[in-house]
């Protein structure tokens, strides 16, 4: 259906149509992780997904990458149905998932090597990418010699090196301390600004989502459905000081109000506004 030209204009576009995902564990009740999720992501758009734990955020991302298949509905990337992982899309996992036995440069070159790029070329391209994330000097070190923030930057560099049209990030800064996380999100925006790939970014930090995204997708849990899609219209490039503006706070509050009940529920606290005793 899609002509070559059509595919070209679709590069980086992702569509999710009425997707369900039900896990059926052996000898246990099926779990509905996602129910009737629909979402259109424009080429070059930065989309953040937030939701209480159990809302299927990570599951949605694995569906987009092709690591999981939907039980109903369809997902397309660049106009083609997603049936498995592809070079169009690259995943940045929550724990950095670097190979402990490979040096930083070989970790960054990993995706290219798996796709048949020669060692020499893969290393050259990996080195160029490492330079962009400011870690050229760590090329010959092993991951364990790096700090958590540096490892996560290597992890992002590894995904960028395969030159995907879509970057999928699964709470990449969750394990980092608050200060490092601030700097890392500013850093991610800088990298993204350079070539505007499509980004889907999962996080449980609402302020992080609002700071980064063009649109924030709010998922509700059990089962995971799209509760609301909040457009974020701040100018780019964005400064970290944006986080201290009134408008920013208002949007964060709004999103928090959408998921607060569920977070309380997941903690076993009373879910209504009944504060009377």
Partner 1 sequence: MSTATQTKARRVGFFTWLGGATRGASITRLIASLSGLFILWEIAATYWVNNRLLLVPFSEVITTLGKEIESGDFGKHLATTGAELAIAFPIAVFGGIMIGAILAGSKPVRQTLDPILTALYSLPVVALAPLFTSALGFGIPSKVAIVILMAIFPVITNTDAGLRSADPALLETARSFQATKLQTLRTVTLPHSVPFLVSGVRTAFARALVGVIVAEFFGSISGFGFAIAAAAQSYQTARLLGYVLVLGAIGLLASVALTALERALAPWKED
| Min separation Cβ 52 and partner 1, Å | 23
| Min separation Cβ 160 and partner 1, Å | 13
Contacts of 153 (CB under 8 A, 6+ apart): 133, 134, 135, 184, 187
Helix and strand totals (H; E) in the chain = 9, 10
| Min separation Cβ 114 and partner 1, Å | 5
**Segment holding 159, helix H or strand E:** helix 148-161
Tell me the window of 29-37, 84-92, 118-126, 186-194 that interacts with partner 1 (CB under 8 A).
84-92
142 binds partner 1 (CB under 8 A): yes
- Distant-in-sequence contacts of 125-130, Cβ < 8 A, 24+ apart: 125/161, 126/157, 126/158, 126/161, 129/157, 129/160, 129/161, 130/104, 130/105, 130/154, 130/157
**How far, in Å, CA of 159 to CA of 168, rounded?**
9
**How far, in Å, CA of 66 to CA of 77, rounded?**
10
134 binds partner 1 (CB under 8 A): no
| Binding-site member from 95, 180, 225, 271 for partner 1 (CB under 8 A) | 95
What residue ranges in 66-192 does DSSP mark as E strands?
72-77, 80-81, 89-92, 166-170
- Asked whether 154 and 108 are in contact (CB, 8 A), the reply is yes
By C-beta, is 155 or 220 nearer to partner 1? 155
| Min separation Cβ 135 and partner 1, Å | 18
120 binds partner 1 (CB under 8 A): no
25 binds partner 1 (CB under 8 A): no
By C-beta, is 86 or 266 nearer to partner 1? 86
| Binding-site member from 97, 180, 225, 271 for partner 1 (CB under 8 A) | 97
By C-beta, is 176 or 259 nearer to partner 1? 176
Tell me the window of 1-9, 30-38, 90-98, 225-233 that interacts with partner 1 (CB under 8 A).
90-98
Contacts of 179 (CB under 8 A, 6+ apart): none
**How far, in Å, CA of 104 to CA of 144, rounded?**
10
Tell me the window of 7-15, 23-31, 98-106, 259-267 that interacts with partner 1 (CB under 8 A).
98-106
100 binds partner 1 (CB under 8 A): yes
144 binds partner 1 (CB under 8 A): yes
**How far, in Å, CA of 18 to CA of 36, rounded?**
4
- Report cis status (omega within 30 of 0) of the bond before 237: yes
| Min separation Cβ 146 and partner 1, Å | 12
| Binding-site member from 18, 38, 69, 99 for partner 1 (CB under 8 A) | 99
- Asked whether 213 and 48 are in contact (CB, 8 A), the reply is yes
| Binding-site member from 74, 115, 245, 270 for partner 1 (CB under 8 A) | 115
Residues that bind partner 1 (CB under 8 A): 65, 67, 84-87, 90-91, 93, 95, 97, 99-102, 110-111, 114-115, 142, 144, 162
């Amino acid at each position: 259906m899609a002509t070559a030209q059509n595919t070209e204009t679709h590069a980086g576009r992702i569509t999710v149509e009425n997707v369900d995902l039900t896990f059926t564990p052996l000898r246990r009740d099926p779990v509905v992780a996602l129910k009737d999720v629909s979402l259109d992501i424009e080429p070059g758009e930065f989309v953040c997904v937030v939701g209480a734990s159990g809302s299927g955020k990570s599951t949605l991302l694995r569906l987009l990458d092709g690591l999981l298949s939907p039980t109903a509905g369809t997902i397309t990337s660049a106009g083609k149905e997603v049936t498995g992982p592809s070079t169009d899309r690259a995943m940045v996992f929550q724990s950095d998932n670097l190979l402990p036995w490979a040096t930083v440069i070989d970790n960054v070159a990993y995706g290219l090597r798996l796709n048949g790029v020669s060692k020499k070329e893969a290393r050259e391209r990996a080195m160029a990418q490492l330079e962009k994330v400011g870690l050229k000097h760590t090329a010959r070190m092993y991951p364990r010699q790096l700090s958590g923030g540096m490892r996560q930057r290597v992890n992002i560099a590894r995904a960028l090196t395969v030159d995907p049209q879509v970057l999928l990030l699964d709470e990449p800064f969750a394990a980092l301390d608050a200060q490092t996380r601030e700097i890392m999100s500013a850093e991610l925006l800088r990298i993204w600004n350079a070539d505007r790939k499509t980004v889907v970014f999962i996080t449980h930090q609402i302020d992080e989502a609002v700071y980064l995204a063009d649109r924030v997708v709010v998922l509700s849990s059990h089962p995971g459905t799209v509760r609301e899609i909040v457009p974020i219209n701040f100018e780019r490039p964005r400064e970290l000081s944006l986080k201290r503006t009134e408008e920013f706070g208002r949007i964060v509050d709004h999103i928090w109000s959408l998921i607060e009940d569920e977070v309380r529920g997941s903690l076993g606290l009373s879910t209504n506004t009944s504060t009377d005793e």
